[in-house]
Amino acid sequence: MLSLSVDSVYVHKVWNESELSKMVPGGVPFPMLSDPGGAIGREYNVYNEDTAVDLRGTFIIDPDGVIQGYQVLTSVVGRSTDEIIRQIHAFQIVRESKEKEFTPADWKPGMTVLKPAVELVGRVWEMWKPVRTRE
């Protein structure tokens, strides 16, 4: 986990000490990167030239350095860490299976995975019956 904003490392330090350490025991457990001027943000297409800060961009990168997925939100809505963790679990399971197993919509850890095969075509409805947990 690497966080990035245009703030300096000095502001990161003070923010961690004065506020974040009150929310997370021991403070932030990952490196807080500084990208003044937004060069990295531009590279990842999340830098907002009008406000001179980054959008809420999340990128999942696999052990080969390949971007497996990303999401970008404007500044008004915060992210779901549960969803990010779910996606990483899913990508890890697929990778461990050497892409023999895939995870369908609304999959969560512990649920059935799908093994693509000719026999599965037209029969996903039998294999995969996600339970709606939301009203």
Partner 1 sequence: MIKAGKPAPDFAAPAYYQGRFTHVELSRYREQWVVLYFYGGDYTFV
Which residues would be at the binding site for partner 1 (CB under 8 A)?
A: 1-7, 9-13, 15-16, 19, 27-35, 39-41, 43-46, 51, 53-70, 75, 78-79, 84, 88, 91-92
Minimum Å distance from CB 123 to partner 1? Answer: 27
CB of 127 to partner 1, least distance (A): 25
Closest approach of Cβ 101 to partner 1, in Å?
A: 17
Nearer to partner 1, 68 or 104 (CB): 68
Handedness of CA 72, 75, 76, 78 (dihedral sign): positive
Q: How far apart are CA 74 and CA 5, in angstroms?
A: 14
CA distance 46 to 15: 22
Cβ atoms of residues 46 and 62 within 8 Å = no
